[in-house]
């Protein structure tokens, strides 16, 4: 943090993305740069793979390790040296494209090989990373990244300048980025041109000095329970509806997919190219998918910005999204909701606004626990949308009950980092006798004096309904 004019500032890396309006000539130039990146990537991958296959074959012959074919480095500097030595023979047209185009492909391969190696050795957490694949001209997404050279926004804020590509027109004004650049609070680190959904975009990665914000209610705590029926249920009783953009557009997308399947598509075996009608149908289908993605991203940004700007502490669950997607009945709706993206946005937005994000343990029984007396049910079917407590008689919406339990959990959490896990010490594995992460013992609160969050949280202003 830097003290500037008696105000704290945060140094963050932020991206600004704008749509482009390219002329046919400019689009051919960008595609040429993206193709150069693909050529460099595929050449370097073939070189690394040939050496690895040769060493594997030699081991089957019983060759000692000291007599195997020497290994080659796959770091970015090593790949650069190898490419510069042969680029005149592999790509005689290399001078027509910027050096950043070849650097884009080599850098992507270097990071992919490092991730694969770290995943195999256990240095990288998460799911196993597969070996890099060759990039196809038809299936890969055209993209090129510029880190050096003339990268700037024009004074009219309607054009940008990139190396070798020149002056490109923006579809929208870049005033937000231009104001920061003129004020000296932002510095462009790189620019990436990428095509998606039938349109070209340019993304500027910038080092930005942001004023440290303060939430509107810094002492307030809110629990956020994510779900499919409702996108998010807050401990205040507010429910954010699930827009289900994919379901809304499913009918049109099926019609476009049928139209594309009836066209004459490409055939790799015979070398046949797709017809013009097939290409137009493919572009329309891609635009439909892009529109769904844009609507989903816009809704998540609005929700997370509102939560981060209002509450000082936000509590969410550590959901096993990969495991939830194994349920074939709910996989499409879970993927459409964007649980991981919502948590990712909350993680950095709470840091910008001066709040904190608390991530509850994955095994914390927020849905099975009564928010009134703390009783924990042994089983709770997914079809039971209303939580009924047999101990104190509380009747409450299932998601709201879980959100209130999450809000109450923030009281027991130590630390004030941007993303803090709970300090209850709950077990990470499920024992045969059931979950052991219990907030409090049942029966510790009377039926007439139930509550979920301390008064300073200002989220317990709700009325309870009791079963007869």
399 catalytically annotated: yes
Show the tokens assigned to 362.
Answer: 């994955």
Distance CA 161, CA 173 (A): 14
- Catalytic residue, candidates 100, 107, 240, 399: 399
Strands 386-388 and 465-466: unpaired
Q: Which helix (H) or strand (E) holds 144?
A: strand 143-146
Helices (H) and strands (E) in the chain, counts: 10, 17
Distance CA 453, CA 401 (A): 12
- Catalytic residue, candidates 100, 225, 240, 336: 225
Q: Is 387 within 8 Å of 452 (Cβ atoms)?
A: no
- 166 Cβ contact partners less than 8 Å away, ≥ 6 residues apart: 26
Q: Is 451 within 8 Å of 440 (Cβ atoms)?
A: no
Cα within 13 Å of Cα(366), Cβ side: 32
219 catalytically annotated: no
- Catalytic residue, candidates 100, 107, 240, 317: 317
Distance CA 328, CA 325 (A): 7
Return the exposure string of 58-78: e unless at least 16 CB atoms fall within 10 Å of the residue's CB, then b.
Answer: eeeeeeeeeeeeeeeebebee
54 phi-psi bin (left φ>0, alpha ψ -120 to 50, beta other): alpha
Show the tokens assigned to 350.
Answer: 């709470």
Query: What are the backbone angles phi and psi of residue 129, rounded to the nearest 5°?
Result: -100, 130
3-state secondary structure 188-255: EEEEEEEEECCEEEEEEEEEEEEECCCCCEEEEEEEEEECCCEEEEECCCCEEECCCHHHHHHHHHHH
Q: How many residues does the chain have?
A: 468
- 18 Cβ contact partners less than 8 Å away, ≥ 6 residues apart: 160, 170, 171, 172, 174, 201, 202, 203, 204
Show the tokens assigned to 410.
Answer: 């923030």
58 catalytically annotated: no
Closest to 143 measured CA to CA, from 200, 206, 91:
200
The total of other beta-carbon atoms located within 10 Å of residue 412's CB is 12
Active-site residue set: 225, 317, 399
């Amino acid at each position: 943090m830097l003290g500037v004019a008696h105000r704290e500032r945060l140094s963050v890396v932020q991206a600004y993305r704008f749509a482009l309006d390219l002329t046919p000539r400019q689009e051919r130039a960008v595609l040429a740069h993206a193709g150069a990146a693909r050529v460099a990537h595929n050449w370097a991958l073939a070189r690394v793979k040939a050496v690895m296959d040769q060493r594997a074959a030699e081991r089957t012959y019983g060759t000692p390790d000291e007599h195997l074919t020497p290994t080659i480095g796959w770091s970015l500097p090593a790949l650069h040296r190898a490419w510069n030595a042969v680029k005149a023979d592999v790509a005689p047209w290399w001078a027509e494209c910027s050096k950043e185009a070849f650097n884009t492909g080599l850098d992507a391969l270097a990071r992919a090989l490092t991730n694969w190696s770290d995943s195999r050795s256990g240095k990288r957490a998460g799911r196993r990373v597969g070996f890099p694949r060759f990039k196809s001209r038809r299936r890969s997404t055209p993209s090129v990244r510029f880190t050096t050279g003339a990268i700037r926004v024009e004074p009219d804020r309607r054009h940008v300048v990139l190396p070798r590509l020149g002056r490109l027109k923006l579809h929208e004004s870049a005033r937000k980025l231009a104001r920061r650049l003129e004020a000296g609070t932002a510095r462009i680190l790189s620019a990436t041109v990428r095509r998606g959904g039938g349109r070209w975009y340019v993304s500027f990665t910038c080092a930005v000095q942001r004023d440290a914000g303060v939430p509107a209610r810094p002492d307030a705590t809110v629990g956020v329970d994510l779900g499919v029926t409702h996108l998010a249920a807050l401990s205040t009783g507010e429910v954010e509806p699930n827009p289900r953009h994919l379901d809304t557009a499913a009918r049109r997308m099926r019609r476009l997919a049928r139209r594309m399947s009836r066209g004459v598509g490409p055939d790799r075996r015979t070398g046949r190219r797709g017809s013009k009608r097939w290409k137009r149908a493919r572009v329309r289908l891609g635009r439909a998918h892009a529109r769904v993605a844009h609507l989903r991203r816009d809704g998540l940004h609005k929700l997370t910005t509102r939560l981060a700007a209002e509450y000082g502490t936000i509590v969410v669950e550590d959901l096993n999204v990969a495991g939830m997607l194994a349920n074939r009945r709910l996989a499409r709706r879970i993927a459409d909701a964007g649980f991981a993206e919502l948590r990712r946005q909350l993680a950095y937005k709470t840091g910008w606004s001066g709040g904190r994000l608390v991530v509850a343990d994955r095994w914390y029984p927020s849905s099975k626990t009564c928010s009134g007396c703390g009783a924990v049910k042994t089983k709770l079917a997914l079809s039971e949308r209303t939580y009924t407590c047999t101990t104190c008689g509380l009747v409450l919406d299932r998601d709201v009950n879980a959100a209130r339990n999450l809000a109450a959990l923030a009281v027991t959490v130590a630390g004030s980092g941007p993303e803090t896990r709970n300090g209850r010490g709950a077990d990470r594995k499920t024992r045969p006798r059931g979950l052991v992460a219990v907030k409090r013992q049942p029966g510790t609160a009377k039926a007439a004096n139930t509550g979920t969050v301390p008064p300073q949280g200002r989220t317990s202003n709700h009325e309870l309904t009791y079963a007869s």
